Amino acid sequence: AAAGLGRLAAAVLAQARDAVVDHERELGRLDAIAGDGDHGVGMRRGVDAAVAAAGEAVGAGLSVHRVLTAAGEAWSERAGGTSGALWGSALAAAGRALGNQDSYSGGDAAAAVTAFADAVTTLGKADVGDKTMVDALLPFRNAFVAAFDGGTPVTGALASAVTAARQAADATASLRPLKGRARPLAEKSLGHPDPGAVSFALIATRVSDYFES
Ligand code: ADP
Ligand code: MG
Ligand code: MG
């Protein structure tokens, strides 16, 4: 009976995959400016593996915790690269936060978003302003939690969070990278947004649209 929320998690991952597929080349080009150019293919490998693993877990009737743990492990393993490890541990952390319940409240959603963000900062140790996905993720988390605390339902909180994440991802164009592979090529990166911040905002947008439809 714990399979319904796992099924929703798998559906959300399928939305993430659609967003990555639509922007795979653009993300690769962005990462090639100051990084190694693999962000598009890495995200694609990771999200494809996560969707497959989530599908198997849902087929076995597993809880959302087990679905997201399987998805996260598959993402980390198959993607390689920094962003794969971060997305993988973040998904697993969101799964742990949701546990084996079969429905969620706004508070559960806020806890899952917070766990996702905490996993990325714990593993990657980047701060806001370092020009990484954290620059989109923390504004997303903060806007989501603020909207929810102010009484906005999950779908509306998600929409506010996406607006914040998109603006913040765009704003990384004016930053110099202080973490990750792009750091040695910091000057080349100026004027271009961080690939990981952009991919996060694109995925969040697609997921929010899914909840609104
Ligand atoms: P790699 O850099 O290993 O080739 P990707 O190209 O897939 O991996 O991902 C690059 C993205 O990873 C960067 O644009 C940045 O957003 C993110 N990133 C790199 N290092 C960190 C970190 N320490 N914390 C958070 N995000 C990071
Ligand atoms: Mg790269
Ligand atoms: Mg790489």
Q: If 0-12 CB within 10 Å is exposed, 13-18 middle and 19+ buried, where does residue 156 land?
A: middle
Which ligand 1 atom lies nearest to the CA of residue 200?
16
Sign of torsion over alpha carbons 14, 87, 85, 34 = positive
Higher-confidence position of 213 and 172? 172
Atom 23 of ligand 1 has which residue's CA nearest to it?
Answer: 124
- Given this model, what pLDDT does residue 78 score? 97
Q: Using a 6 Å CB cutoff, which residues line ligand 1?
A: 31, 35-36, 38-39, 42, 81-83, 86, 120, 124-126, 132-134, 179-181, 194-197
Are 185 and 32 in contact, with CB atoms under 8 Å apart? no
Ligand 1 pocket test: pick from 29, 82, 127, 128 the residue with the most ligand atoms within 8 Å of its Cβ. Answer: 82
Distance (Å) from CA 45 to ligand 3 centroid: 12
Lowest mean pLDDT among 78-87, 100-109, 173-182, 192-201: 173-182
What value does the mean pLDDT of the chain take? 95
The model's pLDDT over 91-136, given as tens digits with 9 standing for 90+, comes to 999 999 999 988 899 999 999 999 999 999 999 999 999 999 999 9
Question: What element of type H or E holds 59?
Answer: helix 39-59
% the chain with pLDDT above 90? 88
Ligand 1 pocket test: pick from 132, 185, 202 the residue with the most ligand atoms within 8 Å of its Cβ. Answer: 132
Question: Does position 17 have pLDDT exceeding 80, yes or no?
Answer: yes
Distance (Å) from CA 157 to ligand 3 centroid: 33
% the chain with pLDDT above 70? 98
What's the CA gap between 203 and 180, in Å, rounded? Answer: 21
Higher-confidence position of 187 and 40? 40
What's the CA gap between 170 and 198, in Å, rounded? Answer: 7
Average pLDDT over residues 166-182: 89
Question: Does position 1 have pLDDT exceeding 50, yes or no?
Answer: no
ipTM score assigned to the predicted complex: 0.99
